[in-house]
Amino acid sequence: MTVTIVGAQLGDEGKGGIVDVYGDAADVVVRYQGGDNAGHTVVHEGEEYKLSLVPSGAVRGKTGVLGNGCVVNPTTLFDELDTLRERGLDPDVRVAERAHVIMPYHRVLDGIEEDAKDDLAAGTTGRGIGPTYEDKAGRRGVRVGDLLDPDVLRDRLEYAVPHKRSLVENFGADPDADRFEGAFDVDELFEEYRALGERLADEEMTVDAGAFLQSHLDRDENVMFEGAQGTSIDIDHGIYPYVTSSNPTAGAAAVGSGVGPTVVGQGEVVGIVKGYLSRVGTGPLPTELGHVEGQTPPEGGDTSETGQALATYIRDEGGEYGTVTGRPRRVGWLDIPMLRHAARVNGFTGLAVNHVDVLAGLDEVKVGHSYTLDGEETTTMPATTEKWGRCEANLRTFDGWPEFDAEQVAQEGYDALPENARTYLEYVSDELDVPIYCVGVGPGREQTVVVEDVWT
């Protein structure tokens, strides 16, 4: 069977941790979209692993697949594999031949375009994600399979590179400038990427992802789909244009891996929810507390003394600093209209609510229960980001809960959680009409209250 893990908010909900919690019974863990813009943390026995491309199941020794829907930077992939090997793991990762390759020029263009965009910039991770998906849609991409065939690789580069050079020139830069380190030179790119292709071939890493997964499913094995990013930064269902360039939502698990939607739909789809909101990047955020310079819009955030103090408390307690970029994350109260939207788009069968420990110790915990938009109350996210920016959150207040011993609670089970925390969780579950499958009370596997075993 399959289990699909999807971020319900804006990324960094703790997806890596939940993949790890449920990963023991998985045989294969598959990423179906995104690339090394992801930063997924797994904490086990005090060891912390931050994974960008390698699926989180690697910590438990599971086979990982980067599906055709991913964009793969082979250099960062090999660096990550080498680092994990140095740390004593033995990751077995396969890469879809249909996945697109992030080339050096994509990273350069990501930076140039972000600078030029000004107010429309999403605050990208600078990994070249958007430009690579653009080339995929523009049918001028380089795919992983092309790296293994030198003639095809050269053909692809000879078509794509002049196109990229003229783009850079349009931005007023010289593609041959030293600072671009040969990113726009066909011969240099050809040599470097042909060698990366040889390494992929030598290590027998490339596969037809759909066929590979089907062979595992035919043996009644368990496949877990590990979504990256989150529903509200999905290119179709998120806060466009402050989004990533792929579909983190559950439907993409099929398209991005090469199995049918019925395969994904017959399994579980678990929405990963952070007990409050965090955001790295720009755009509106109706329940935002405090204000992060360079990310919060000029009028955004609760900048009262209490708002600022709560933001600092939550950011520090939750360690809300970007895994990939180290930037301070914007924080806010849980946004229920955002979650109602996510539950419908993804068809969640269960929820994992993380970071319940971070909120412990507050006198009151609030949620945005609904919005007021142009004088009317609304209970889900509007379809345009401009309307979302005009939404005012109608807050609902819950009594806080005290600090508790996370490992003891995780061992004893759900009923050992403080009563007010359970009231909060049950409110979320009722509003979304989706059961709680597990509750994160700390970063580690041993600090997760498992209510439901997803594999039975």
Q: Where does this chain bind ligand IMO (CB under 6 A)? A: 7, 11-12, 37-40, 122-125, 127, 129-130, 228-230, 233, 242, 244-245, 280-281, 323
Q: How far is the CB of 324 from Mg ion (least distance, A)?
A: 7
| SS3 state of residue 290 | coil
- Among 379, 365, 372, 392, CA closest to 337: 379
What is the closest distance, in whole angstroms, from the C-beta atom of residue 230 to ligand IMO in the complex?
6
* Binding partner selected for residue 232 from ligand IMO, Mg ion, ligand GDP, none, CB under the kind-specific 5 to 8 Å limit: none
Catalytic residue among 20, 40, 110, 185: 40
Q: Residue 39, interface with ligand GDP (CB under 6 A)?
A: yes
Q: Does 440 bind ligand GDP (CB under 6 A)?
A: yes
- When asked if residue 20 is in the footprint of Mg ion (CB under 5 A), the reply is no
Per-residue buried b or exposed e for 202-239, using 16+ beta carbons within 10 Å of the residue's own CB? eeebbbbbbebbbebbeeeebbbbbbbbbbbbbbebbb
Q: Which residues contact 333 (CB under 8 A, 6 or more apart)?
A: 276, 277, 287, 289, 365, 366, 367, 368, 393, 395
- Tell me whether residue 144 or residue 439 sits nearer to ligand GDP (CB atom): 439
- Count of residues that bind ligand GDP according to CB under 6 A: 23
Please enumerate in sequence order all residues whose Cβ is within 8 A of that of 287, keeping only pairs 6 or more positions apart, or say none: 277, 332, 333, 334, 335, 366, 367, 368, 393, 395
Question: Footprint of ligand GDP on residues 358-417 (CB under 6 A)?
Answer: 358
Cβ-closest position to ligand GDP: 440
Looking at the Cβ atoms of 88 and 294, the one nearer to ligand IMO is: 294
What binding mask, one character per residue, do residues 320-349 give for Mg ion by CB under 5 A, x or -?
Answer: ---x--------------------------
CB of 227 to ligand IMO, least distance (A): 8
- Cβ atoms of 58 and 64 within 8 Å: the answer is yes
Neighbours of 363 (CB within 10 A): 7
Q: Are strands 436-440 and 350-354 parallel, antiparallel or unpaired?
A: parallel
453's tokens: 């075993």
DSSP for 429-443 reads HHHHT--EEEEESSS
Amino acid at 266: Q
* In the block, residue with structure tokens 């109706």: 286
Annotated catalytic, 335?
no
Q: Considering only residues 10, 15, 122, 401, which one is a binding residue for ligand GDP as defined by CB under 6 A?
A: 15
Between 40 and 94, CB nearer to ligand GDP: 40
The site partner of 443 among ligand IMO, ligand GDP, Mg ion, none (C-beta below 5 to 8 Å per kind) is ligand GDP
Choose among Mg ion, ligand IMO, ligand GDP, none what residue 125 binds, the Cβ cut-off being 5 to 8 Å by kind: ligand IMO
Q: How far is the CB of 44 from ligand GDP (least distance, A)?
A: 11
Residue selected from 12, 135, 226, 452 as contacting Mg ion according to rule CB under 5 A: 12
Closest CA to 322 of 385, 229, 258: 229
Catalytic residue among 12, 36, 110, 135: 12
Chosen from Mg ion, ligand IMO, ligand GDP, none, partner binding at 37 (C-beta under 5 to 8 Å by type):
ligand IMO
| Residue type, position 134, single letter | E
> Active site includes 178?
no
Determine what percent of the chain falls in helix, strand and coil, rounding each to the nearest 5: 40, 20, 40
Using omega within 30 degrees of 0 as the cis cutoff, is the peptide bond preceding 328 cis?
no
Per-residue string for binding with ligand GDP, 316-345, x by CB under 6 A? --xx---x----------------------
- In single-letter form, the type of residue at position 300 comes to G
| In the complex, minimum distance from the CB of residue 272 to ligand GDP, in angstroms, rounded to a whole number | 6
* Shortest separation between residue 73's beta carbon and ligand IMO, angstroms: 12
Q: Could you list the residues that contact Mg ion (CB under 5 A)? A: 12, 39, 323
Residues annotated as catalytic (active site), given as ranges? 12, 40
